[in-house]
Amino acid sequence: MALGRQKVICAMAQQLLTKGSASSRLECIMQHVSNSRKANTSSISLEQPKITHDEKALAQGAPFPPTTPGVLRLYNMRFCPFAQRTKLVLEHKKIPYETININLKYKPDWFVELSPIGLVPVLQLNDLVLPESTATCDWLDDMFPGETRLTPEDTLRRAWDRVLLENVGKISDVFYQIRRNADMKDKTLAKLEKKLQWFEQILSERRGPYFGGKTFCRDLS
Ligand SMILES: N[C@@H](CCC(=O)N[C@@H](CS)C(=O)NCC(=O)O)C(=O)O
């Protein structure tokens, strides 16, 4: 959680440097951080929300869909692999939530205002707004641990999972790098192979069918 929150604060700080007056952005960041401290499991409604994943994406000009107190909301884009991380965790933990699909080419103004880094996924619960897929997954995992826990209790193991996620989780970048610069193909593939060998070695030391070893754990998608 600490790491997740740190990421959010860093992302917000980055935003602070690039947009708006420093003092008003700082106020906004402090508000986000203080709101995230207030949220807890009991503030989430367990009723099935009415707005589902199949709704049309909202674009510029679309009115803001009013929130319902206690209803967890996911701002999503249907083909966004990052938002799918958050969705997978929500589904795995059977947490009721509503989905607002966003047209990312023509974002509604209210989404730009609401989202600290301008990207999906974003989770919203009452006054809490949380961006960044990994931060949302960490937060959900901390809020709803129990049998559906996805990250290890062991803090060092958890830290190592983060190392793997940050390094090997970005494998898709390689395909884009090769597409952008075909001359670098051999060098890029050699780097990828080295990384995969390192990953394989760690996985074999974990002796389990899953990334988490013997138990199911968040994957690297
Ligand atoms: N690091 C972010 C990446 C999220 C991201 O890149 N989302 C894309 C959609 S897949 C987005 O919102 N793009 C809109 C834009 O770039 O303006 C995360 O893991 O949540």
Q: What is the CATH number of the domain that holds 25?
A: 3.40.30.10
Question: Is 129's pLDDT higher than 90?
Answer: yes
Question: Is 221's pLDDT higher than 90?
Answer: no
pTM attached to this predicted model: 0.73
Report the candidate in 26, 133, 31, 15 with the shortest Cα–Cα distance to residue 75. Answer: 133
Question: Is 130's pLDDT higher than 90?
Answer: yes
Q: Does 215 reside within a domain?
A: no
Give the pLDDT of residue 214.
67
In this structure, the answer to whether residues 57 and 106 fall within a common structural domain is yes
Q: Does 212 reside within a domain?
A: no
Q: Which atom of ligand 1 is nearest to the CA of 80?
A: 10
Report the candidate in 113, 150, 109 with the shortest Cα–Cα distance to residue 4. Answer: 150
In this structure, the answer to whether residues 132 and 159 fall within a common structural domain is no
Catalytic entry in 10, 28, 80, 217: 80
Give the pLDDT of residue 57.
95
Distance, in Å, from the CA atom of 141 to the CA atom of 143, rounded to the nearest integer, reads: 6
Number of H helices, E strands in the chain: 8, 4
Q: Does 112 reside within a domain?
A: yes
Give the pLDDT of residue 31.
54
pLDDT in tens, 135-154: 999 999 988 888 888 888 88
Q: Does 211 reside within a domain?
A: no
In this structure, the answer to whether residues 143 and 192 fall within a common structural domain is no
Nearest 5 degrees, angle CA 103-CA 26-CA 139? 60
Cα-based distances in Å from 48 to 72, 152, 186, 218: 10, 29, 50, 25
Q: If you measure from the C-alpha of residue 4 to the centroid of ligand 1, how many angstroms do you get, rounded to a whole number?
A: 16
Distance, in Å, from the CA atom of 23 to the CA atom of 181, rounded to the nearest integer, reads: 41
Q: Does 221 reside within a domain?
A: no
CB atoms within 10 A of CB 89: 21
Q: Whose CA is nearest to atom 5 of ligand 1?
A: 119
Q: Does 217 reside within a domain?
A: no
Q: What is the mean pLDDT of residues 198-213?
A: 80
Q: 116-145: b or e for each residue (b if 16 or more CB lie within 10 Å)?
A: bebbbbbbbbbebbbbbbbbbbbbbbebbe
Overall number of domains in the chain: 2
pLDDT in tens, 110-124: 999 999 899 999 999
Q: Does 189 reside within a domain?
A: yes
In this structure, the answer to whether residues 33 and 109 fall within a common structural domain is yes
In this structure, the answer to whether residues 79 and 35 fall within a common structural domain is yes
Distance, in Å, from the CA atom of 104 to the CA atom of 188, rounded to the nearest integer, reads: 30
In this structure, the answer to whether residues 162 and 127 fall within a common structural domain is no
Last residue of a domain, one of 148, 175, 191: 148
In this structure, the answer to whether residues 113 and 191 fall within a common structural domain is no
In this structure, the answer to whether residues 131 and 199 fall within a common structural domain is no
In this structure, the answer to whether residues 140 and 61 fall within a common structural domain is yes
Q: Cβ(120) to ligand 1 under 6 A?
A: yes
In this structure, the answer to whether residues 42 and 114 fall within a common structural domain is yes
Q: Cβ(44) to ligand 1 under 6 A?
A: no
Q: Which atom of ligand 1 is nearest to the CA of 132?
A: 20
Distance, in Å, from the CA atom of 102 to the CA atom of 219, rounded to the nearest integer, reads: 25
In this structure, the answer to whether residues 53 and 160 fall within a common structural domain is no
Residues 218 and 211 sit within 8 Å (Cβ to Cβ): yes
Q: Does 169 reside within a domain?
A: yes
Q: Which atom of ligand 1 is nearest to the CA of 120?
A: 12
Give the pLDDT of residue 150.
86
Give the pLDDT of residue 200.
87
In this structure, the answer to whether residues 142 and 159 fall within a common structural domain is no
Q: Cβ(117) to ligand 1 under 6 A?
A: no
Last residue of a domain, one of 99, 130, 148: 148
Q: Cβ(82) to ligand 1 under 6 A?
A: yes
Q: Whose CA is nearest to atom 16 of ligand 1?
A: 119
pLDDT in tens, 14-73: 444 344 444 554 554 455 555 555 555 666 777 667 666 677 999 999 999 999 999 999
Residue matched to tokens 């001359």: 183
Active site residue 80: yes
Q: Which domain holds residue 60?
A: 2-148
Residues 134 and 119 sit within 8 Å (Cβ to Cβ): no
Give the pLDDT of residue 116.
84
